[in-house]
Amino acid sequence: MITGKMFRDGIISGSNNISNSRQAVDALNIFPVPDGDTGTNMSMTIGAAAKEMAVLPDDCSLSEASSRCASALLRGARGNSGVILSLIFRGFAKSFKGLESAGAKDLADAFSNAVDAAYKAVMNPTEGTILTVIRKASEAANEMANTLDDPLEVGFAGLLAAREALAKTPEQLPVLKKAGVVDAGGQGLVLILEGFLSVFENDVIVQALESAGTVTPVSTPSKKTVAEASGDIKFGYCSEFLIEKSNSAKKKDPLKLRAFLESIGDCVVVVDDNDIIKVHVHSNEPGNVIQSALEYGQLINIKIDNMRYQHRNADVGVEEGEAPVMPEAEPVNNYGFVAVSAGDGLADLFKDLGADIVVSGGQTMNPSTDDILNAIMATPAKTVFVLPNNKNIIMAAEQAIGLAEGREVRVLQTKTIPQGISAMLIFDENDDADANQMAMMEAAEAVSTAQVTFAARDSEVDGKPIKQGEIMGLCNGKIRFIGEDIADIAFKSADKIIKRNQTALVTIIFGEGATEKMAEDIQQRLADKYGDDIEFTIVNGGQPIYYFIISAE
C-alpha cells in the first residue's frame, strides 16, 4: 500500500530529482528567447510542495499528504508547465481524499484523474507534450491495475510508459525532432516520477545536489524577530501626494496643514507652489493625513508606504524567487488593478496608470500563483483586474481566481507589456466590470508589439540558424530579424509592426543594455520614414532581458 509517508517522501525525492537536473531541462527549450524556462518553473513549483511535505509527521495519512501537496503546488505554480504539474497532483489528491493509504486501483484512478485535470485546463491540448506523457502513464497504470493488485507495479508501469512517451515526443512535434530534443515539460514530469519510484521501490529519497539547493522548510521569523526588526520606527506610514488646490481653498493657509501634520507625525514637508501643494509626512494615521489634505483640494499621485513592513522584509529577508507577503487590504474601492512587470520604470508607469500593486516578474522569473494572489488580496477593491502581460503567466494568474476570498478577480489575457498599458488606458470608472473587461481586451488586441532581445542558446527558427548571443527582433512573438546591432534590429522590428495610414502612436520602451540616445535615434529614423503621421513616446522602462519593447497602435 502507498502510505502518506511514502507520498510525502516521494514529493521530496521528485523535487530533488528535477532540481538536480533543472538546467538540463531548461536547455531542452527550443525557442531561443531567454525566459522562465520549463525546468526552473517546474522545479520551483514542486519545491513549494516539498517544503510543505517536510513538516509532515511519519504517521500522516495519504489523504492529508496529497491534499496539502496539491494546495502548495497550486499556490506555488509558476509558468504554464508549473500550473499543469499542479493540476496533475490535484487529480491525485482527488482520488486519495479520505484514504489512509492506497492500493493498485486507487493509484490507477489517481492517474486517470490527473489526466482529466491537466487536459481540461488547456484550451487546445497539444500532443507531444507533458499532456501526452501523463496520459500514456495513466493508460499503462490502469492496464496494470487490471492485472496485478500491486501499487508498486502500477507505478512502475506508469513510469515506463511515461519514459516511452517522452522518447516519442519528437515524432509528434516536428520542431522537437528538428532540434533533436524531447519535450521539456514531459522530461520534467519523468524526473519527478523517477524520484517517486526511488521511494516506492527502495525507500530512498533522491538527495539534492549542493548546487541545486535543499528542500528544508522555510524559516519563518518569530513575532519577536519581526517586532525587533521594526521597533525603531516610531511612525509607520510614509504618505506622499500632490494637492491640486480648489478655488475655495486657495485662500487657506498651507501652514495650518503643516502644523496639523506635525502634530501627528514627523518628517513633514509642505511646499506651496501656486496651484499645487506638495506633501510628505511620516505618521501612524494615513487616513487623517488624507482627510486633512482634502480640505485644500483634490489629491493626485498618492503614495502610501508601510515602512515597518518594508523594514521587516529588509531585515528578515525574503527567500529567493518569492515575493514579500503584503498585508491584506479591505476591499473599499469598486475596482483595483494588479499588473506584472519587470523594471522600475515599467513599475512606475503601471502605478501612474492606476495599478494598485505591481508584481515583480516577467520573462526570466514568472511569479507564482501565490505571488499574484497575495497582490490581489492586498488590493483594496471589490473587483480586481489582473494583467499578466506575459503568455507564460496567464495560467498561474487564472489559478488565483478561485483562491481570492471576498473579491471578484478578472484576469485579462495580456501577453505583452504594451497590451497591458493599452488595456489600463482604456479603463472607464463609470462602466461596469463586463464592459470594461471587453473594452480593455479589445484595446490590448489592437496593439502590435516588437521586442528586441538576445538569443539564450543556439537554435534554428524557420530554417534560420541562430547563435547564442545574437540580437533578435520579435514581432508579435515571432522572430523576424537576427543580427549584431541592437538599434538596427529595433528599427527593423518597429518598422515591421507599423502600418502606414493606420498606426497613430508608437511607444519605444528602452531597458537594460539600451540608452535613451539609442531610443531617440530609432525614433528619428522612423519619423524620417513616416513623417508627422505618427506620434512617438519614449519611456525608460528599466526592464531586463529586452533592450527594447516597442508598440504600435
Cα gap 12→10, rounded to integer Å: 5
273, with CB counted inside 10 A (0-12, 13-18, 19+), is exposed
List 539's β-bridge partners, or say none: 509
Cell numbers linked to 266: 514627523
Distances (CA, A) of 127 to 31, 42, 122, 392: 18, 19, 12, 19
In order along its 553 residues, the chain shows pLDDT tens digits of 889 999 999 999 999 999 988 888 888 877 777 665 788 889 999 999 998 898 888 999 999 999 999 999 998 888 889 999 999 999 999 999 999 999 999 999 999 999 999 998 887 888 889 999 999 999 999 999 998 889 999 999 999 999 999 999 989 988 888 778 889 999 999 999 999 999 988 888 988 875 444 333 222 222 333 333 334 567 777 787 888 887 776 778 888 888 888 888 877 777 776 677 878 888 888 888 888 888 888 887 677 777 665 555 444 344 444 556 678 888 889 999 999 998 889 999 999 999 999 998 765 678 889 999 999 999 999 999 999 999 989 999 999 998 888 899 999 999 999 999 999 999 998 899 999 999 999 999 999 999 999 887 777 777 778 888 899 999 998 999 999 999 999 999 999 999 988 899 999 999 988 999 999 999 999 999 988 889 999 999 988 889 999 999 9
319, with CB counted inside 10 A (0-12, 13-18, 19+), is exposed
Cα gap 122→506, rounded to integer Å: 34
Cα gap 542→513, rounded to integer Å: 9
**What pLDDT, on the 0 to 100 scale, is given for residue 36?**
53
Residue 417 DSSP label: H
Cα gap 337→384, rounded to integer Å: 5
Cell numbers linked to 265: 507625525
**What pLDDT, on the 0 to 100 scale, is given for residue 136?**
94
DSSP characters over 55-87? TS-TT--HHHHHHHHHHHHHHH-BHHHHHHHHH
Cα gap 484→499, rounded to integer Å: 26
Torsion angle of alpha carbons 477, 478, 484, 487, nearest 10°?
-50
Which pTM does this prediction carry? 0.72
**What pLDDT, on the 0 to 100 scale, is given for residue 466?**
85
E strand or H helix that includes residue 315: helix 307-316
H-assigned helices in 357-485: 369-377, 394-399, 417-425, 433-445
Cα gap 349→355, rounded to integer Å: 9
Cα gap 260→268, rounded to integer Å: 10
Contact call for residues 26 and 12 (beta carbons, < 8 A): no
Contact call for residues 501 and 470 (beta carbons, < 8 A): no
Q: DSSP strand E in 177-257: where?
A: 237-245
The answer to whether the Cα torsion of 527, 351, 401, 451 is positive or negative is positive
Q: DSSP strand E in 342-496: where?
A: 357-360, 381-387, 408-411, 448-454, 459-461, 464-466, 471-475, 478-483
